[in-house]
Structure 1
Amino acid sequence: MSDFLKHECGIAAVRLRKPLAYYLDRYGSCLWGFNKLFLLMEKQHNRGQDGTGIGCVKLDMPLGQPYVQRRRGIEKDALARIFQKEVKSFHKMARKGILDPKDPASVKERYDFGGEILVGHLRYGTSGEFDEGSCHPYLRRSNWPTRTLMVMGNFNMTNAGELNQVLIERGQHPVFGTDTQTVLEEIGYHLDEAHTDLYRKLRDAGVDGREMPARISAELDVPRLVGESAQPWDGGYAICGVVGNGDMFVMRDPRGIRPCHMLVTDEVIAFASERVPLMTVFEASADQVKSVDPGSIITIKADGSYSDSAFSPPQRYTPCSFEKIYFSRGNDPQIYRERKAMGAALVSQVVDSIDGSFDKAVFSFIPNTAETAYYGLMDGLRLYRRQEVRSEILKAVDAGNLTADKLDELILRNWPRGEKLAHKDIKMRTFISQEKGRDQLVSHVYDITYGIVKPDDVLVALDDSIVRGTTLKKSILKILARTEPRKIVICSTAPQIRYPDCYGIDMADIGQFIAFQAAVALHRKAGRQSLLDRIYDECREEMKKPAEERRNRVQGVYSDFTDEEVSAEISRMVYPESIDWSGEVQVIFQTIENLRASIKGDCGDWYFTGDYPTPGGYAMVNNAYIRWYEGVGGRSYDLPL
């Protein structure tokens, strides 16, 4: 994706099903689970590089012994640094005789991460100020293990303001106003209530105090209390939590917006945001890794038994399509096929853009993440050309003029030509404060291969998606123009991004979207400012309605234009300025129909269509327009809706 987007977040969890002695005997290390956690997180490093956190809960620790630990960091390469520090600490303790690495009991007692439950989180800081305290997992401590709670997740709640207000009305005192804290405190509240009810019941039944922790732990109904906590949540989420007694749960939102996968073997129960890391790290086959069902809670009790229970009635399944387009790593076999299909689905538009003249066209891709879709585009173009050649050969045979020269002309000439043209040279950082300086930096993010494109060629470059168009205008098109083609065609495997996201992608300010800017420009050129004013009034009226009755009034911004008209205006708006080149620029977008046909099964497409899966989405999109119209901008779900 040329316009870089941040995405919240990645989770990994390892629950050992055997004592540490088993892993020492079989694998030669008591830290087998800890090492697997690191690998799971490293294989998902694409999902978050601003902050990292890990946690551990130990089972059946003697009274007075620590049973829960956590580390977090936001420094550069925090993931590697945290694990390196912990491994060094382990070996240092071994050298000093503080622990015996060959004695599982010693490792469990002395080493902070020598436990059976290990969790990790990777985060992009997409909300407000970001520091170590913003990193997951969040921890709620108590001197009762059955009231201690550690929570992490990949989520965003659209109604975080309302949820925090519930805490206040309940008499609690939220320290920050984030959805993460809301989730932690809401589950913690129900955990406290369940614990207190059990304690009083057992006390009144005459149970001895020393037996109380084990009895409460055994009777604690984690699926019920977590399910009750989740009832008011509006958003997309995959959340993992661990109670201090060793009960663990993983839950996924009822519409499956955020991904979560699970592997169960005799040795381990593991979870991750992506499927392939589980396959690779644990050498598992694809059919062994299952998606956690939307609206379900996987619960693993301290005794190792686990269950799968629903906390919500079935909802329309709308998994985030950006996982397929961009976020998830492309080595997942299904995602690989789907990305190739997205590229192939652009063939007819691409052929039209080059007027069918393959001998005067060069095909390439821009960011490395678009490479897989590029293979699909090239396969599709070659298939298209083969069909053309076959038809022409048959015509020549029927006419009786098929010669060797004619065959050479049909087969060897006018064939799709792919080249590696754009290279992302280094990761530029906008440390220069002046706007002009930043623009100069952006213009050097990519470099090109010279001498490939001829002056009468059309250069076709594939991108994952086009959000803001900033990098396209200020960097990519300027660089591609140096090759001096007569025309540059930019193809997006995603449709036009018209509406903000509120479920975990850093894409919330509608005024930054190039598609929205283009539609607004078209209205103003046509003298229809009054329509934009009317939509503002409609959005304000929508915000007065109950959440379940709200509609997306922002769709009216686009209703007067075809996709092609908006694309043409985008092509005009991203044309590179202040360069010595007079060629043509055309921007092509995937159609919604082709995106749906390319993705196997259902897909959430609210950023393209405005069809949000939850009531909070409709509140957010109307609020986004209001903030744009009033010149406020920013994230449209930072304030109570």
Structure 2
Amino acid sequence: MSDFLKHECGIALIRLRKPISYYIEKYGTPLWGLNKLFLLMEKQHNRGQDGIGIGCCKLDMPLGQPYIFRRRDARKDSLATVFNKEIKTFNKLARKQMLDPSSAGSVKNVFDFGGEVLMGHLRYGTSGRFDEGSCHPYLRRSNWPTRTLLVQGNFNMTNAGALNQKLIERGQHPVFGTDTQTVLEELGFHLDEAHTDLYRELRDKGVDGQEIPSMISENLDLLQIISESAKSWDGGYAICGAVGNGDTFVMRDPRGIRPCHYYIDDEVIAFASERVPLMTVFESNKEQVKEMEPGNVTIIGHNGEIRTERFHPEVQKAPCSFERIYFSRGNDPSIYRERKAMGAALVDQVVDAMNNDFDKAVFSFIPNTAETAYYGLMDGLRMYRRQQVRAELVEAIENGTLDVEMLDKVILRNWPKSEKVAHKDIKMRTFISQEKGRAQLVSHVYDITYDLVKPEDTLVMLDDSIVRGTTLKQSILKILSRTNPKKIVVCSTAPQIRYPDCYGIDMSELGKFIAFQAAVALHEREGNNELLKEIYEACKEELRKPAEERINQVKRVYECFTDDQISAEVSRMVYPEDVDWDGEVQIIFQTIDNLHASIKGPCGDWYFTGDFPTPGGIATVNAAYINWFEGKSGRSYDLPLV
């Protein structure tokens, strides 16, 4: 993706199914679970680099002994820093004979992360603070293990403001006002309620006080607690947590917007945001790693019992298509195939853009995430060319004109030329973001291979998505123009991004989207400013309605124009300035139909179509337009009703 986006976080959870002594005997280390947690997080490092956190809950600890722990860090290289520190602590304790690595009891009693429940979180922050305190997991402490709660997740709640207001109306005092706190406190509230009811019932029956904790632990209904907590949540989420007694849960939002996968064998049950890390870390095949069903929660009791239940009625699924296009690691077998299919789906548009002149076209991609789709595009172009050659050969045979010259002309020429044209300088930093010369420096993030492209060539570059267009205009097209082609065609495997996301991706400001800017520019050129104001008033009116009655008024911005008209305007807007080049620029976007044909199964496409899967999404898009019209920046969640 040429326009950098922060997006979904990554989660990992390990629940050991055997005593610690088992892993010491079989694998020679009591840290088998911790090592697996590190690997799961390292394999998902693409999902979060703003900070990390890890947590541990120990089972069956004697009363009065510590049983729950966490570490968080928001510094550079935090993942390696945190795990290295814990391993050094373990080795130091062993070296000083304060801990016996061969004794499970010693490890559990002395080492903080020598427990059976281990969880980790990789954060890509889209809002709030960006320090250690904003990193998951969040911990809600109590002197009752069955009221202590450790929670982390990959989520964004569109109604965070309303959820915080709900806490206030109960008499609580939320400090941060973030959706993370609302999730923790909502779960904590219902956990407290259930705990208090059980305690009073047992106390009134005359049960001995020392027996009450274990009886509460046996009777705590985690499914009921989760179901009650999630009733008011509007958003995309994959959330996992642990109660202090060891009861553990992992839940996925009803529409499956955020991803979650799991692996189970007789030694471990493990969860992660992506499939491939589980396959790699546990040396399993894709059939052994399952996708968690949306609207379900898996609960692993402190006694090891595993059950999966539905906490929300079944609704239409809408998994985030950007996971397939860009975010998830491309070595997942299904994602790899789908990304290739997205590239191949662009063939007809590409052929038209280069006037079917393969002899005067050079194909490449903009590093690095578009590489897989590029292979698909090249496969598709070669297949297209084969069909052309076959048709010409058949015609030549039928006409009796087939000869050596014909073979040279048809077969040996006009085949798609694949080259490495653009190179990204990964050492280029944004430390100069506040300096006046930033634009000039940013223009040198990319470099080119010289003398590959001829002045009569069309240079076709594949990108996986075009969001804001700023990197194209200020950097990529400027440097590509130095190859001096007749024309530059930039192809996006994603359709035009027209609407904000409110379920995890950091793209909530409507006015920053190049497709929206293009539509507005077309309206202004045609004198339709009054329509833009009408839409503004309509958006305000929508926010006065009950949530279930609202519609997306922002769709009206695009109704007057075809996709091609908006693409043409985008092409004009991103044309590089101050360059010694007079060639043509054309931007091509994937069609919605081809996107759905490429992705197998349900496909959440609200940022392309405006068809948001939850009421919170519709409120957000209308609020985003209001913010844009009024010249306000920032996220559009929970704009006060007007």
TM-score by length of 1: 0.99
Distance 2:164 2:27 in 1: 46
| CA distance, structure 1, for counterparts of residue 54 and residue 408 of structure 2 | 62
Q: Which amino acid aligns with 1:606?
A: W
20-29 or 327-336: which moved more? Answer: 20-29
**Amino acid across the alignment from 2:195:** H
- Aligned equivalents of 1:498, 1:427: Cα separation in 2: 32
- Contact 1:365–1:420, Cα closer than 8 Å, also in 2: yes
Q: Is the CA contact (8 Å cut-off) linking 1:624 and 1:633 kept in structure 2? A: no
Q: Report the 3-state secondary structure (helix = DSSP H, G, I; strand = E; otherwise coil) of the residue aligned with 1:637.
A: coil
Instruction: Check whether the contact 1:160–1:640 (CA below 8 A) recurs between aligned residues.
Output: no
Partner deviation per Cα, 1:197-236 (whole Å, 9 max, x = no partner): 1111111222111111111001100011111100000000
One-letter amino acid of the structure 2 residue matched with residue 512 of structure 1: K
Measure the CA separation in 2 of the matches of 1:500 and 1:197.
Answer: 43
Distance, in Å, in 2 between the alignment partners of 1:53 and 1:590 is: 38
> Which stretch shows the higher mean deviation, 250-259 or 431-440?
431-440
Report the Cα distance in structure 1 between the residues aligned to 2:236 and 2:203, rounded to whole angstroms: 40
* Aligned residue in 2 for 1:5: 5
Q: Given that residues 128 and 134 in structure 2 are in contact (C-alpha distance below 8 angstroms), is that contact kept between their aligned partners in structure 1?
A: no
Aligned to 1:110: 110
Conserved? CA contact 2:148–2:244, under 8 Å: yes
Change (3 A) 1:433 1:343: closer
Q: Which residue of 2 aligns with 1:186?
A: 186
Equivalent in the alignment of 1:258: 258
Matched residue SS, 2:173: coil
User: Which residue matches 1:88?
Assistant: 88
Q: How does 1:282-431 map to 2 (within 5 A)?
A: 282-431=282-431
Deviation at 1:634, TM superposition (A): 1.5
| SS of residue in 2 equivalent to 1:22 | helix
Amino acid aligned to 1:238: A
Per-residue deviation, 1:640: 5.2
Indicate if the aligned counterparts of 2:255 and 2:319 stay in contact, CA closer than 8 A. Answer: yes
Superimposed CA distance per residue, residues 361-416 of structure 1 (whole angstroms, 9 cap, x where no aligned partner): 00000021000000000000000000000000000001101002211211110000
CA distance in 2, matches of 1:207, 1:139: 30
Distance in 1 separating the partners of 2:145 and 2:90: 25
Aligned to 1:217: 217
Quote the residue 2:152 is aligned against.
152
Report 1:411-490 matches (<5 A).
411-434=411-434, 436-490=436-490
- Give the corresponding residue for 1:601: 601
3-state DSSP class of the match of 2:13? strand
Alpha-carbon distance in 2 for matches of 1:563, 1:605: 16
The answer to whether the 8 A contact 1:364-1:420 is kept is yes
Once the two structures are TM-superposed, the CA of residue 101 in structure 1 deviates from its matched residue by 1.1
Q: Is the 8 A contact 2:128 2:178 kept in 1?
A: no
Q: Secondary structure at the match of 2:184?
A: helix
Post-superposition, which runs of at least 4 consecutive aligned residues in structure 1 deviate over 4 A?
638-641
CA contact (8 A) 2:501 2:607 kept: yes
> Could you list the runs of 5+ residues in structure 1 that have no partner in the other structure?
none
- The equivalent residue for 2:503 is 503
CA 189–461 in structure 1, closer or farther in 2 if over 3 Å, else same: same
Q: Given the alignment of the two structures, is residue 572 of structure 1 paired with residue 549 of structure 2, yes or no?
A: no
Superimposed CA distance per residue, residues 151-194 of structure 1 (whole angstroms, 9 cap, x where no aligned partner): 00000000000000000000001011000000000000000000
One-letter amino acid matched to 2:68: V
Tell me by how many angstroms 1:64 deviates: 1.3
Contact 2:542 2:551 in 1 (8 A): yes
Q: CA deviation at 1:436?
A: 3.6
- CA shift, 1:437, in A, is 1.5
Moved more, 420-429 or 152-161: 420-429
Q: In structure 1, how many angstroms separate the alpha carbons of the residues matched to 2:185 and 2:640? A: 18
Q: 1:535 maps to which residue?
A: 535
Alignment of 1:546-557 (within 5 A): 546-557=546-557
Q: What secondary structure sits across from 1:210 in the alignment?
A: coil
Taking the aligned partners of 1:7 and 1:165, their CA distance within structure 2 comes to 26
Paired residue for 2:161? 161
- 2:199 corresponds to 1:196: no
TM-aligned CA deviation for residue 434 of structure 1: 4.6
Find the aligned partners of 2:156 and 2:323 in 1 and give their Cα distance.
15
Q: CA deviation at 1:586?
A: 0.2
SS at match of 1:287: coil
- Identity in percent: 73
Amino acid aligned to 2:548: E
Once superposed, what is the RMSD of the aligned Cα atoms? 0.9
Q: How many angstroms apart in 1 are the aligned matches of 2:324 and 2:96?
A: 49
d(CA) in 1 for partners of 2:267 and 2:184?
29
Q: Return the offset for 1:126.
A: 1.2
User: Which deviations, in whole Å up to 9, do the C-alpha atoms of 1:561-585 show, x marking residues without a partner?
Assistant: 0000000000000000001011000
What are structure 2's unaligned runs of at least 5 residues?
Answer: none
Q: Is residue 491 from structure 1 mapped to residue 461 from structure 2 by the alignment?
A: no
User: Residue in 2 aligned with 1:235?
Assistant: 235
Instruction: Report the Cα offset of residue 445 of structure 1.
Output: 1.0
For residues 355 and 639 of structure 2, the distance between their equivalents in structure 1, rounded to whole angstroms, comes to 50
Deviations 1:31-81 (A, max 9, x none): 000000000000000000001000000000011111000000010011111
Which segment drifts farther, 120-129 or 137-146?
Answer: 120-129
Q: 1:625 to 1:427 in 2, by over 3 A?
A: farther
Q: Give the drift of 1:128.
A: 3.0
Moved more, 548-557 or 441-450: 441-450
C-alpha contact 2:500 2:607 (8 A) present in aligned 1:
yes
Structure 1 residue matching 2:339: 3-state secondary structure: helix
Alignment match, 2:272: 272
Q: How many angstroms apart in 1 are the aligned matches of 2:214 and 2:185? A: 24
Alignment-derived partner of residue 205 in structure 1 = 205
Structural mapping, 1:56-135, within 5 Å: 56-135=56-135
* Cα distance between partner residues in 1 of 2:123 and 2:233: 21
Distance in 1 between residues matched to 2:223 and 2:235, nearest whole Å = 19
Cα separation, 2, equivalents of 1:43 and 1:434? 33
SS of 1:84's equivalent in the other structure is helix
**1:174 corresponds to which letter in structure 2?**
P
Retained in 2: the 8 A contact 1:57–1:242? yes
Task: Quote the Cα distance in structure 1 between the aligned partners of 2:153 and 2:182.
Answer: 12
- Which moves more between the two structures, 459-468 or 430-439? 430-439
One-letter code of the match for 2:146? T
